[in-house]
Amino acid sequence: MKILDKEKLSKSIEEIANYDLENNNIFGSSYCVLQSGNVVYKKHFGYSDAEGITPVSDKTLFRLASMTKPITGVAMVILEERGLISLDDPVKKYIPELEHIHVITPEGNDLGETKTDVTIRHCLTHTSGFGNGDETSMTDKDRETIESTIRYFTKAGLCFEPATQSMYSAFGAFDLLGAVAQKVSGMDYGAFLKEAIFDPCGMTDTTFSPTEEQYSRIITMHNKVDSKKEKGITYEGCVFEKIPYGHNLAGAGLVSSMNDYVKFAGMLASGGKCGDKQILSKESVINMSTPHVPFSWAPDKESWGLSVRVVTSEKYEKLPVGCYGWSGAYGTHFWIDPENEICAVFMKNSRFDGGAGTMSGQRFEIAVRDSLIE
């Protein structure tokens, strides 16, 4: 295990954070790094509004986008530990609409009903085939609820036969998981997450439906056009794109604070334990962070665990093999380094430089990597 040089880490993060501010890449951001459960570095930069009035702080909320997915991954593993599901259950066991789903190629060719049932594991590992229409063609009616999106994606069909390849599902597959959780728990999905994860971890500001007070603390969406910063587009009554409050979008719909998400990520880094509460078993955390997708289906540096990407090759260079985590479309990013007992979280909300592979996130990875000493 290598130890973080606090002075070097602090200097490196200050440099990359100020670079983003000086180059109009953000309105504001937050960084936090833990090692062995202790905070090594935590600081906020810039402002939560375009006018530069309110500094980013512990109270600032961020749209998580796809950093919602690992929370849903943990939720499904908790349900398995409670004996309510198996990850290898066919989803149609809980969602009958999948009984006769077809494979429809992106070109629109209907190949008939699937030969393999979509399972919960397929949805968690992006091998379900769900993806048709993830970003396009949805009406406001389709976006209203988990149930309405399931009807939409069922009609759109699968892009490929399940468990034959991997393709990222922005939210179709994960809405199915939210619906499964509602079915077996007998609770609204947001309420189930609160009972199973948020309350035990003390995550008081993580929600699908922010109150008026919480909404006032969400950072302004940023964008960069012609080298100048400006407000990015958002939609009233929505956290993620045009998905309305009340639709607990299991793959992208949460808002959270830096403090809250650090508690979640720190729980994973601590083997499923948050304080004196065991949220899920250490064995389940290891299973989540183990590659479940054949290397031939994944890039040569990374693979999919259960809802998280896993670094599988030294070719990645920025992080050691075995690191796992994920990012969000608006620039949020986190990872856990089991070998060096590191947990790192980065928060921003921008339509410039977001999603997996964000340059801000990569610079953060390099800053942490280069601060490790023997």
pLDDT in tens, 288-303: 999 999 888 877 799 9
In this prediction, residue 133 carries a pLDDT of 64
Going by DSSP bridges, is the β-strand pair 309-311/302-304 parallel, antiparallel, or unpaired? Answer: antiparallel
Reading the block at residue 211, the tokens are 């109150």
Length of the chain: 374
The Cα 177–Cα 121 span in angstroms is 10
Q: Please give the residue that has the higher pLDDT: either 117 or 136.
A: 117
H/E stretch holding 31: strand 28-35
Q: What is the mean pLDDT of residues 331-353?
A: 98
Q: What percent of the chain has pLDDT over 70?
A: 99
Average model confidence (pLDDT) across the chain: 96
Grouping H, G, I as helix, E, B as strand and the rest as coil, residue 69 is: helix
Q: What is the mean pLDDT of residues 36-57?
A: 98
Q: Within 13 Å, how many C-alpha atoms sit on residue 51's CB side? A: 2
pLDDT tens track for 254-297: 999 999 999 999 999 999 999 999 999 999 999 999 999 988 88
Q: What percent of the chain has pLDDT over 90?
A: 92
The Cα 49–Cα 228 span in angstroms is 15
Is 101 in contact with 95 (CB distance < 8 Å)? Answer: no
Query: Nearest CA to 58 among 181, 272, 204, 188?
Result: 204
pLDDT band per the 50, 70, 90 thresholds, residue 101: very high
Is pLDDT of 136 > 90? Answer: no
Is pLDDT of 234 > 90? Answer: yes
In this prediction, residue 134 carries a pLDDT of 65
